[in-house]
Amino acid sequence: MSVPEGPLVVGVDSSTQSTKALVVDVATGRVVASGQAPHTVTGRGGARESDPEDWWAALADALGQCGAPARRAAAVSVAGQQHGLVTLDGQGRPVRPAMLWNDVRSATQAERLIEHLGGPKAWAERTGSVPGPAFTVTKWAWLREHEPEAAAASRAVRLPHDFLTERLTGRAVTDRGDASGTGWWTPATGAYDVEILGLAGLSPTLLPEVADPFETAGTVRDLPGLPLPAGALVAPGTGDNAAAALGLGLTTGQPVLSLGTSGTVYTTSPHPSADPTGTVAGFADARGRWLPLACTLNCTQAVDRIAALLGRDRDAVEAGGREVLLPFLDGERTPQLPHASGLLYGLRHDTTPGRLLQAAYDGAVYALLDALKRVLAGTPGQDDAPLLLIGGGAQGAAWRETVRRLSGRAVQVPAARELVAIGAAAQAAAVLTGEDPAAVARRWGTADGPSYDPVPVDRAALDRIGTVLTDGGPLLHRQLHGEHPA
Phi-psi category of 231—alpha, beta or left, where left has phi over 0 and alpha has psi -120 to 50? left
Q: Which residues are catalytic?
A: 240
Q: At what angle do helices 353-376 and 397-407 cross, to 10 degrees?
A: 60
Supply φ then ψ for residue 86, to 5 degrees: -110, 120
Q: Show the CA angle centred on residue 175, arms to residues 7 and 261, nearest 5°.
A: 90
